[in-house]
Amino acid sequence: MSILIKNGFVVLPDKMVKADIHIEGSRIKRIAPHIDADADEVIDAAGLAVMAGLVDMHCHLREPGQEHKEDIESGAAAALRGGYTSVACMPNTLPVVDNAALVRYVAARGAEAGLCKVYPIAAATKGQKGAEITEMGFLKAAGAVAVSDDGRPIENSSVMRNALNYAKTQGVLLISHPEDVSLSAGCAVNEGYNSTISGLKGISRAAEEIMIARDIILAKTYDAPVHIAHVSTEGGVELIRQAKRRGVRVTAETCPHYFAATDDEILNYNTSAKINPPLREDSDVEAVIRGLADGTLDVIATDHAPHHVEEKTQEFDLAPFGTVGLETAFSVAYTYLVDCGDIELTKLSKLMSATPASLLGIGGGVLAEGALADIMIADLNESYVVDSRKFKSKGRNSVFEGWHLKGKVVCVIVDGEVKERS
Amino acid sequence: MKRKDLLGLRDISADEIMTILDMGKEMRARLDANEAGTELKGKTVATLFYENSTRTRVSFEKAARCLGAQTTGITAQASSVQKGESLIDTGKTLQSLLTDAIVIRHPSSGAPHFLAKNIDIPVINGGDGTNEHPTQALLDMLTVYRAFGDFRGLKVVIAGDIKHSRVARSNIWGLKKLGAEITLVAPETLLPAASSRLGCEVSYNLEEAVCGANVIIALRLQLERQTAGLFPSAAEYHRYYGITDRILHKADAGVLLMHPGPINRGLEVSGAAADGECSVILDQVTNGVAVRMAVLKLLCAAAY
């Protein structure tokens, strides 16, 4: 199978060029201004951006156990629709993915679906109970690309120390969910003016920042890598910036909703805007964008968190946390980071493809001769209104419902095969 | 009044509040004269209470009957809510039972808004979480209105657990819209996160804050707040934040002492102050019936 992509604006690691891309089998054979080659399929990408397929290092596909919210097939379909060629899914399922058999199950279900590539993240502690570390060697051998107790923090600092040191030993990335639950338990939204005037219980920024600070201190003390999930606060960004300056082995991600939305979204008690960590204020949004621009934040992940419509159609306090994100992430990032001039498209490609691929060690994430042909093509001039009824995801809980976004994914190629086209 | 629901005083205009208060005044006169009304004859008002309440529920029921309506009382403890029925399903069922308005009390902030969005009949917020309790604030305001005739320039002190108080929030929105000056008094642990951004003075010192006050609203302090670590003991709280005769003497000579009830005597207010000549706590209760009559009449009339 060979594909020739003609006349696109190709987003390379350091520049954008008008070029053709020739794909043979699962790999990129050539990138050059004009390629005349026989191909089974020719894609006319005139006026379109051709980028490395997106890589999400943080999503929730809910399988096994909560297939009413999402399953691996529907989640992978949503990912493809959003331009993702690889996703890594969190282990807070029922049961928790904390043993090699379950890691193989998730990977096998992803392969069966045959859509985008699905990589399992395994738990860092058994049952995500925060007490005993998991068999990280076996988990990695079975296909886990990282370990995390995401959904909850590893509260006990001694356990966190051991998890970091053992993950370092096994060469597996530990992703921390930074939250001091003694400050956040029972709360629903950001603590501030909007929590005060809505009567919704506020989660202090300190709940996030205390744990980021602790993780940084542990990473520094033991020279162990740590990846901080879903950074949402100005103070969190600053802690990470300082730590990087001091050489601490910390990397970090944020999510589209933390640089595009504020807690104004909760004022009408919209449960799709109930997210953990919560949507913050303008000053945090600005700090997150600065953090992405200056390299403090390494990755944009989705934290795609689908829920059944009935679970979100409840009193605000009772509704579960999370917004879906796979099908909107690129458009939100393009609209709120690139189109408004804060960052370059090449930089966005690093944040959404190259860096997460490299952190997970899965390859791909860049367009280069010889690289895997994981590619997405987007029309950067097309605007649309988000309509969750059209989602491939089972989750309809999008905080971006009804938003006008720019930049639409039109074609996705995984391992040299066209998997999505519109 | 052109609105389906009464969900809070944050999203209501000063004119609408005055419409309710003026009608509330008429209703109070009617209550004092023991005149029965028939405006809502043939209508049914349901009280849907997911939290314990005596005075608010009884007050709404009394108000509905004083206008000739029938009442249906549903509590979460004795209904299909116990069987897992959702709030929307319960609301739709009540609507199908030909109910004309629902008064809801719920521990979750925003629950009345959620219900109102999903059903067609008027929803009245009878207290939601730590968000609002609009009819309590309206009855407080009716009490002030009847005593002073105006709100502009009045000094109002709201003292106590502001953080958890829906009564405080509704009073802040309502009284500010009508021109009163408000001072919130509490230890920082019992103030909400953005207390300084509400357009009120904020003070830790009750003795200073009450100087020249025309109205003092004491808030109920739940004893659970002590085990949660928000104040150290009842004795210390009463010493610094309890309303006593000593505090009342520092206020304006004609000060009104109000309290939404039920009172913890000796905690947020001393027994002597609660029973003293500044206290209008029992007058508030009667005004509660009057103002709820006004709200029911205005909303049910608008609906038909």
Query: Do A125 and A79 have their domain in common?
Result: yes
Please tell me the predicted confidence (pLDDT) of residue B301.
79
Interface pTM, i.e. ipTM = 0.92
Indicate yes or no: CB of A195 within 8 angstroms of CB of B193: yes
- The better pLDDT of the pair B114, B82 is held by B114
User: What confidence tens digit (pLDDT) does each residue in A318-336 have?
Assistant: 999 999 999 999 999 999 9
pLDDT band for B304, please (50, 70, 90 cuts): very low
Which CATH number covers residue A381? 2.30.40.10
Q: What is the pLDDT of residue B1?
A: 82
- Whether B80 shows a pLDDT value over 80: the answer reads no
Is the same domain home to A80 and A34?
no
What is the set of domains in chain B, with CATH numbers?
14-132+285-303 (3.40.50.1370), 134-284 (3.40.50.1370)
pLDDT above 90 for B52: no
Q: Residue A41: which H helix or E strand, with range?
A: strand A41-44
Dihedral angle, C-alpha A386, A392, A396, A402, nearest 10 °: 10
In tens, the pLDDT along B241-269 reads 999 999 999 999 999 999 999 999 999 99
* Mean predicted confidence (pLDDT) in B171-194: 97
To the nearest whole number, what is the mean pLDDT of chain A? 98
Q: Please judge whether A192 and B198 are an interchain contact, meaning their C-beta atoms are less than 8 angstroms apart.
A: no
Q: Does B108 touch chain A (CB under 8 A)?
A: yes
Give the model's pLDDT for residue B77.
Answer: 78
Cβ-defined contact of A200 to B114 (cutoff 8 Å): no
The answer to whether B192 contacts chain A (CB < 8 Å) is yes
Q: Report residue A216: phi and psi, to 5°.
A: -65, -45
* Nearest-by-CA chain B residue for A203: B193
Residue A120 lies in a domain: yes
Does B109 reach chain A within 8 Å, measured CB to CB? yes
* pLDDT at residue B78 tops 60: yes
Contacts of A313 in chain B (CB under 8 A): 86, 88
Classify residue A366: in a domain, yes or no: no
The number of folded domains in chain A is 2
Indicate if A325 and A221 belong to the same structural domain. Answer: yes
Q: Is the peptide bond before A91 cis (omega within 30 degrees of 0)?
A: no
pLDDT in tens, A91-132: 999 999 999 999 999 999 999 999 999 999 999 999 999 999
Q: Is residue A369 part of a domain?
A: no
Asked whether the predicted pLDDT for residue A364 surpasses 90, the reply is: no
* Same-domain check for residues A301 and A265: yes
Contact check, Cβ <8 Å, A316/B110: yes
Band of the pLDDT at B302, cuts 50, 70, 90?
Answer: low
**Does residue A288 sit in the same domain as residue A388?**
no
Same domain, A236 and A305: yes
Mean local confidence (pLDDT), A168-192: 98
Contact yes or no for B130 and A201 at CB 8 A: yes
Residue B119 has pLDDT above 60, yes or no: yes
B 135-174 residues with CB < 8 A to A: 166, 169
Quote the pLDDT of residue B75. Answer: 87
**pLDDT (0 to 100) of residue B81:** 74
Which one of A337, A360, A383 terminates a domain? A360
Of B60, B65, B9, B72, give the one whose Cα is nearest residue B38.
B65
Of B10, B87, B113, the CB nearest to A197: B10
In chain A, what residues touch B87 (CB-CB under 8 Å)? 314-315
On whether any CB of chain A is under 8 Å from the CB of B133, the answer is no
Whether B54 shows a pLDDT value over 90: the answer reads no
Alpha-carbon gap, residue A21 to A16, rounded angstroms: 13
Provide the domain limits for residue A14.
Answer: 2-49+374-421
**Residue A321 within any structural domain of the chain:** yes
Residue-averaged pLDDT of chain B: 95
Closest listed residue to residue A305, CA positions, set A269, A255, A376: A255
Examine the domain organization and report whether A95 and A219 are in the same domain: yes
Instruction: Dump pLDDT digits (tens) for A68-78.
Output: 999 999 999 99
In this structure, the answer to whether residues A175 and A214 fall within a common structural domain is: yes
Shared-domain flag, residues A398 and A314: no
Per-residue three-class SS string for B281-296: HHHHHHHHHHHHHHHH
Residue A350 lies in a domain: yes
Query: Domain with A71 in it: what CATH number?
Result: 3.20.20.140
Instruction: Place B45 in a pLDDT band, splitting at 50, 70 and 90.
Output: very high
Domain annotation covers residue A103: yes
- Judged by CB atoms closer than 8 Å, whether chains meet at B194 and A195 is answered as yes
Instruction: Give the pTM.
Output: 0.94
Q: What is the pLDDT of residues A212-263, one digit of tens each?
A: 999 999 999 999 999 999 999 999 999 999 999 999 999 999 999 999 999 9
Q: Are strands A299-300 and A375-385 parallel, antiparallel or unpaired?
A: unpaired
In sequence order, the 6+-apart residues with CB closer than 8 A to the CB of A46 are A6, A7, A8
- A396 in the same domain as A292: no
